[in-house]
Structure 1
Amino acid sequence: MTAIALKFEHKQQQTLTPRLQQAVRLLQLSSLDFAQEVHAALDKNPFLEPDDNDVPGPLQSDAALPADAATDAAASDDTWAPTAGLPRGGLPSSGDVTALDLVAADVSLREYLHRQINVQPLTPRDQLLTATLIESLDEDGYLRTPLEEVGALSGIDPDRSEMLSALRRIQALEPNGVGARDVAECLLLQMPDIEDDAVRTLATRIVTQHIDRLAHRDFSGLAKTLGRSVEDVERACARIRHLDPRPGWRHGSTDVQYVTPDVVVRRVRGAWVATLNTSVIPRVKLNQAYAKLFQEHRDVQHGEMAATLQEARWTVRNVRQRFSTILKVTEAILKRQHHFLEYGPLAMKPLGLKEIAEELGLHESTVSRVTNNKYMATPVGVFELKYFFSRSMPTASGSACSPTAIRGVIKEMIERESPCQPLSDPEIARLLVRQGLNVARRTVTKYRQLLKVEPVERRRKHA
């Protein structure tokens, strides 16, 4: 029989307080999401108020600058901000018509199709079936749902011939190609746009019978199968590529994710300088008048207000600490990767989170959170901070190389290749080995795909 016993053990364990957990959560947010959090705190916390003054000096950085260049960098900081030249409150309000008022509103694909159908003399039944089909189209303008399922949604139990008639009605609308059920049908609906009869006939055969070979750019195989010259096939395929495989994209706006840089990097008198993008820093401060009034009249019954005041102080501190940490990490990255800004991807060095963490006295997880969803604007582009980190890959000489540099080498090889004899992935791997870079073929394929470069078959052009 098993005896039950109690056992006491002393054990040290590090735990995060709720306050620290909140700070960690806020640190990993993007700057726009963080600003929303701060603005929400402004709305509900009476001890917080907007700060109309410029961002305080300690959040700026003049590290790695000559003494006389620091002033120049600080003086030019405001010129980059996206809001420069506009009042802080935004566009002035007036009764005059502005250019923005004259911009046409985006019309969605469905709305555009409904407008065309509404002017046609249709019976209520046909109108309902056509409208149901329009609402079933996806953003590309395709009908991905079977006709039977769409008919069931109408609630009037139509037969297949009625649904096909309604679909043909939609396919006759603008934009050309809308209402197709696959890519081939979409392209065939646009064939009347090809003016040359011979080219249109050949293009129709290619799309109808050999669309797979079209996708692989197998011009020689198509020419042999169709009994036509390679030049005729290439001319027809080139005209097909001018057709629109996604007609729905012509109407309506697509959600575009804009990137707002957190840090701006400039070259000032030979040195790379990082400054915070002040437009993304929430301008918030403690309302000293309210805080002083509360301190003068507080008592034990005001525990909730005391907690609110402490929350306000933590918010102000989090804003300053967050952006100060981002700036320090950025400066540490620049110290190691400044050659990338001067010479391009080939000069990117291997860099690990641990290296930055040890220099700044931070935990690796903190550096990881800082580099996620934080962006650096440079003269050569906008990059996420984590872009500058990569593992070390050994070379034949015993030195180390970063994957970014290898991708740069691959990109240069492909840009210099012969259009008639492009390099395959195994050939690129062999050329890399000759340069002392031992990269496997599958790794070359992975890097080529990251560069958004098509396979060798699709890059090959016939003389």
Structure 2
Amino acid sequence: MKQGLALRVSQHLALTPQLQQSIRLLQLSTLELGQEVQQMLDENPFLEVQSEDAGEEFGIAVADQRAAVDEPETGFEGATAGVQESATTTSSTSSETESEGGDYASDDPSWEGDGSTETVPDDGEWGGEAPAAKRNNNGDDDEVDATELARGNESLQSWLHRQALALRLGEVDRMALRFLIESLNDDGYLEEPLEELAAGLAPDDLEQQEELVHRFTVALRLLQTLDPPGVGARNLSECLTLQLKAMQQDEEDEDVAACAAALKICQQSIDLLAKRDVKRLAQLCGEAEACVRAAIGLITRLEPKPGRRFIDVERNVVVPDVIVTQVGRGSRANFRVQLNPDVMPRLRVHDVYAGALKSHRGEGHQALQQRLQEARWFIKNIQQRFDTILRVSTAIVERQRNFFIHGELAMRPLVLREIAAELGLHESTISRVTTAKYMSTPFGTFELKYFFGSALGTETGGNASSTAVRALIKQFVAAENAKKPLSDSQISEMLKEQGIECARRTVAKYREALRIAPANLRKAL
């Protein structure tokens, strides 16, 4: 075989470190972005947090004032210009181009290099600022942040420890009670057997284990007398029994029979109670069916998770990335889409360090120059992240206008491909943007993925959103006769009467997604 040289032209996508960072920042949630920013601040000396005064004078406050002046009175106010104006101190705005790899990239030539040989731009050209976050300037000092409010909630363990202080216990019993309190899970249950707890404290001493089991047994009885009722239970039956015994002391005479029957029911298999098998329970407990029904109604009012109200609600606090506000009412209402300034980091390049690097060309200059370039790219990628989130959110609001006027029943079918085609992005980019990002609306706070739903056919040849169908199912169940709840087949027929083709198994899937119990469990006794 003869060897030779050949010239061939081809194209391929090169994922540079800057592009990889841009993709990674795009898919991060608000909490993860905050952690990433903090880590970058700790590692890169050229990056610093912008002060409040500088932000109000040069940052987003000025951009918001300009946007307020130029804001149109009608139509959708996407506020995309707000992000662009916040970067007007820069000489160029990051642009997004679509590639076959499925993500966006900047058309800046420096994306393709490592930054080692390119000409260093002037810091005044970059401006060194990401979109600055402004705080509440309404003068309302009494407003409390939801996260701070959540942190102020008392934990279950603290609540129990405070009650234990009122008990006159010896040193050993007090420590045993404290140990059991700390062994409770978030729901208030003691999951591990007392023998295992004792074996963990004294693995090689059987006599000491027996002594500990005795101490734990006494402490457990004390623990189960504390508030909330049912705390310290080992299983659901015991939890319900503890609450019923506490209720017996306060109930009126007419409820004594129901409490006694309920205690008998809790001694039976919990599956019979879940299935509401009244006849079987009446036979096992030796009670009349009417009394068993009253007892089950009493049990349904109990709390199966005593520690529920003490769970740290900070884990459930959702900070929206986008805020949608309504201007006007009715069908002529307009909606303003803007980024939440509280989640936008206030970053800039450290002017002093950057200026010193320009005048110093000694040892280590190349490494420091690379760190400076990393800081600039990090700020630019954050700008691009929020700009993309805002563009996608604005497109969603425009497509789902009826939802923001009439509610979830008016939700229209929407897939990622539609938004991607409108914005000139790839579906994977839209998927990253809509994951773990939240939008605050007049109807509540929703994840961006909530506004996307598959289509179900209608008799007229149109499409109905699966979200709207779920809302209809919820309405049907809320209005049903409690003594004769609707089955999945009946709900399917009712949807067909509305012109929506929805099979019974699809209704069952949507019902389970809505956490609605089957018809036999919804039936009133």
Shorter-chain-normalised TM-score: which range? 0.7 to 0.9
Alpha-carbon distance, 1:292 to partner: 4.1
1:142: which partner in 2? 189
Per-residue Cα deviation, 1:282-305 (whole angstroms, up to 9, x for no partner): 122334454344334446751122
Alignment of 1:192-341 (within 5 A): 192-194=246-248, 195=251, 196=253, 197-209=256-268, 211-219=270-278, 222-223=281-282, 226=285, 228=287, 230-249=289-308, 251=310, 253=312, 255-269=314-328, 270-288=333-351, 290-298=353-361, 301-341=364-404
Residue 20 (structure 1) shift: 0.7
Which residues of 2 match residues 58-97 of structure 1 at below 5 A? 67-68=72-73, 83-85=136-138
Deviations 1:2-53 (A, max 9, x none): xxxxxx9977542311111011001111133323423443443335441523
Measure, in 2, the Cα distance between the counterparts of 1:104 and 1:372. 29
Q: Give the residue type in structure 2 aligned to 1:26.
A: L
CA distance in 1, matches of 2:153, 2:284: 49
Q: Secondary structure at the match of 2:417?
A: helix
Q: Note the C-alpha offset of 1:329.
A: 0.6
Please tell me whether residue 55 in structure 1 is matched to residue 102 in structure 2: no
Report what 2:471 is aligned to: 408
Distance 1:329 1:228, change over 3 A: same
- 1:158 corresponding residue in structure 2: 210
Contact 2:76-2:398 within 8 A present in 1 as well? no
Q: Which moved more, 1:441-450 or 1:429-438?
A: 429-438
Residues 433 and 151 of structure 1, relative CA distance in 2, 3 Å threshold: same
Distance change (3 Å), C-alpha of 1:326 and 1:146: same
Matched to 2:33, the amino acid is: F
Structure 2 counterpart of 1:109, from 157, 168, 179: 157
Counterpart pick for 1:186 among 234, 239, 249: 239
Q: Distance in 2 between matches of 1:173 and 1:343?
A: 48
Q: Distance in 1 between matches of 2:364 and 2:219?
A: 72
Alignment: residue pair count:
440
What is the SS of the residue equivalent to 2:295? Answer: helix
Cα distance change on mapping 1:308 and 1:73 into 2, 3 Å: closer
Q: Supply the distance in 2 between the matched residues of 1:82 and 1:455 (Cα, whole angstroms).
A: 48
Separation in structure 2 between the aligned mates of residue 23 and residue 189 of structure 1, nearest angstrom: 55
Change (3 A) 1:71 1:188: closer
Structure 2 SS opposite 1:383: strand
Distance in structure 2 (CA, Å) of the matches to 1:368 and 1:252 = 31
The 3-state SS of whatever aligns with 2:315 is coil
Which residue in 2 is equivalent to 1:4? none
- TM value normalised by structure 1: 0.81
Aligned partners of 1:60, 1:233: CA distance in 2, in Å?
A: 67
Aligned partners of 2:246, 2:406: CA distance in 1, in Å?
50
Q: Which residue identity is paired with 2:196?
A: E
State the alpha-carbon separation in 2 of the partners of residues 69 and 300 from structure 1: 59
Residue 14 of structure 1 is matched in structure 2 by 13
Distance in 1 between the 2:323 and 2:66 partners? 11
Deviation at 1:322, TM superposition (A): 1.2
- The CA distance in 2 between the partners of 1:131 and 1:448, in whole Å, is 43
Shift in Å at residue 440 of structure 1?
2.6
Which residue pairs with 2:446 in the alignment? 383
How far off its partner does 1:313 sit? 1.5
- Counterpart residue type for residue 23 of structure 1: S
Pairwise CA distance, 1:371: 0.8
Give 1:84 shift: 4.5
Letter in 1 for 2:302: L
Aligned to 1:3: none
Distance, in Å, in 2 between the alignment partners of 1:121 and 1:380 is 52
- In the alignment, is the contact (CA less than 8 A) between 2:400 and 2:451 conserved in 1? yes
Residue 97 of structure 1 is matched in structure 2 by: none
State the alpha-carbon separation in 2 of the partners of residues 301 and 177 from structure 1: 66
Q: CA deviation at 1:346?
A: 2.2
Pair 141,293 (structure 1): closer, same or farther in 2 beyond 3 Å: closer
Task: Answer whether contact 2:400 2:411 (CA < 8 A) is retained.
Answer: yes
Is contact 1:59–1:323 with CA below 8 Å preserved after alignment? no
**Aligned-pair Cα RMSD in Å:** 3.9
Select between 238-247 and 414-423 the one with higher mean Cα deviation.
238-247
What is the CA distance between 1:418 and its match in structure 2? 1.4
CA pair 146-87 structure 1, distance change in 2 beyond 3 A: same
Task: Using the TM superposition, give the Cα deviation of residue 170 of structure 1 relative to its aligned residue in structure 2, in angstroms.
Answer: 3.4
Query: For structure 1, which runs of at least 5 residues remain unmatched after alignment?
Result: 1-7, 92-99
Contact 1:113 1:134 survives alignment (8 Å): yes
**What is the distance in 2 between the residues matched to 1:293 and 1:87?**
42
% identity of equivalent residues: 40
Return the match for 1:176 from 188, 205, 229.
Answer: 229
Give 1:239 shift.
2.7
SS of 2:60 mapped into structure 1: coil
Q: 195-204 or 364-373: which moved more? A: 195-204
Segments of 5+ residues of structure 2 without an aligned counterpart are 1-5, 83-133, 203-207
Distance in 1 (alpha carbons) for counterparts of 2:7 and 2:490: 63
2:28 equivalent to 1:26:
no
For 1:393 and 1:61, locate their aligned partners in 2 and report how far apart those are by CA, in whole Å: 44
* Aligned residue among 413, 417, 426 for 2:480: 417
Give deviations 1:432-451, integer Å, cap 9, x for gaps: 23433332322212211222
